């Protein structure tokens, strides 16, 4: 039997979207037999955080965050075992304008009747610290190793021909330099909103 679909709301890194998020939780709290998980900002999570345990047994996850879909997809996938991750549908709350619009889109994707009580698990008060590091879009990366050669701080590594972000904590905050070296546009810095390509706003494969 398939597990129920899980709805996840990843909070904004600041507090300014709390009213929007709380309203969205309220609007989603009447879904029959639904499950809603509220977590801190996805990009600040570390790989041992309990949220990944909640995602893994699922077949499907509806994931709402304040990141572009491509940034959220690869920030999340980097922590999930390839081939074992659930099907994930991403929603960028920043593009949905109102909690009502966000709730309507999420409910549409859920294909459920709206009644009953939703089981809500709020892990969003779990302390996280601000982080800055590259996220690799592996649908674009061809493991050429240019970023590995370029970075002086040992952030990247290559194992079994696959390039990955080995030590994110060594990356220099605010700098997206290696994303400009990558000819495939595969390196995302989700908070570098000055450049749409770098923050993951450009969709699709290269
Ligand atoms: S430079 Fe880009 S394509 Fe090459 S290994 Fe790094 S992320 Fe992948
Ligand atoms: S931004 Fe600079 S320090 Fe960070 S991973 Fe890229 S090259 Fe390394």
Domains of the chain (ranges; CATH) run 6-122 (3.40.50), 135-188 (3.30.70.20)
Question: What tokens were used for 98?
Answer: 């109102």
Distance of CA 36 to the CA centre of its chain: 16
The conformation of residue 168, written as its DSSP 8-state character, comes to: G
For residue 185, which atom of ligand 1 is closest to its CA? 2
The ligand that comes nearest to the alpha carbon of residue 165 is 2
∠ CA 137-155-193, rounded to 5°: 50
Rounded to whole angstroms, the Cα distance separating 74 from 66 reads: 14
Q: What does the pLDDT read at residue 1?
A: 41
Q: What does the pLDDT read at residue 184?
A: 97
The verdict on the CB of residue 136 being under 6 Å from ligand 2 is: no
Nearest-CA residue for ligand 1 atom 3 is 141
For residue 170, which atom of ligand 2 is closest to its CA? 3
Q: What distance in angstroms lies between residue 124's CA and the mean position of ligand 1's atoms? A: 33
- For the chain, which ranges sit under pLDDT 50? 1-2
Question: Can you tell me which residue has the tokens 């597990």?
Answer: 3
The pTM is what? 0.91
Q: What does the pLDDT read at residue 147?
A: 98
Q: What does the pLDDT read at residue 84?
A: 74
Rounded to whole angstroms, the Cα distance separating 31 from 74 reads: 28
Q: What does the pLDDT read at residue 59?
A: 82
């Amino acid at each position: 039997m398939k597990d129920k679909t899980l709805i996840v709301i990843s909070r904004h890194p600041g507090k300014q979207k709390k009213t929007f998020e709380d309203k969205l939780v309220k609007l989603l709290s009447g879904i029959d037999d639904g499950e809603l998980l509220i977590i801190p900002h996805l990009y600040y999570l570390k790989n041992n955080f309990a949220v990944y345990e909640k995602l893994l047994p699922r077949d499907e996850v509806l994931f709402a965050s304040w990141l572009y879909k491509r940034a959220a997809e690869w920030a999340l996938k980097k922590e999930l075992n390839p081939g074992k991750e659930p099907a994930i549908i991403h929603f960028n709350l920043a593009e949905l304008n109102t909690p009502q619009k966000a709730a309507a889109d999420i409910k549409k994707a859920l294909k459920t009747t709206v009644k009953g009580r939703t089981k809500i698990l709020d892990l969003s008060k779990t302390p996280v610290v601000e982080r800055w590091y590259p996220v690799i879009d592996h649908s674009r990366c061809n493991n050429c190793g240019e970023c590995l050669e370029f970075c002086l701080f040992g952030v990247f590594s290559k194992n079994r021909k696959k390039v990955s972000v080995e030590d994110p904590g060594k990356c220099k905050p605010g700098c997206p330099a290696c994303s400009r070296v990558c000819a495939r546009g595969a390196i995302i810095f989700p908070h570098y909103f000055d450049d749409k390509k770098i923050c993951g706003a450009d969709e699709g494969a290269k």
